[in-house]
Amino acid sequence: MEAEREGWLGEIEGLQSSLTHAEEKLAQLDAQISRKQESVDLGIPTFREIAARTSAVATPPGPA
C-alpha cells in the first residue's frame, strides 16, 4: 500500500477507520432490510368493508 511505503501513518489510520465505519453501516442496513422482510402487511380496510360491519350491528329500538 502506498501509504505504508511512504510512512503516512495518519492516512493508514484514517483509511482503516473509514473501512470500519463503512462495514458497520453495511451491517446496519442489512439488519434493517431483514426487519422489513419480517413485517406483516395488515392492509387498510376499504369503505365497503367498514360499512358492511356497521350495518350488521343491530340498532336499538326507538321510543314506543
pTM above 0.85, yes or no: no
Residue 49 has a pLDDT of: 78
Domain borders along the chain are 1-39
pLDDT in tens, 17-44: 999 999 999 999 999 888 877 767 788 8
Spatial neighbors of 38 by CB under 8 A, at least 6 apart, are none
Locate 17 and state its grid cell: 477507520
Residue 62 has a pLDDT of: 63
How many helices (H) and strands (E) in the chain?
Answer: 3, 0
CA-based end-to-end distance of the chain: 95
Spatial neighbors of 3 by CB under 8 A, at least 6 apart, are 9, 11, 12, 15
Mean pLDDT of 41-61: 71
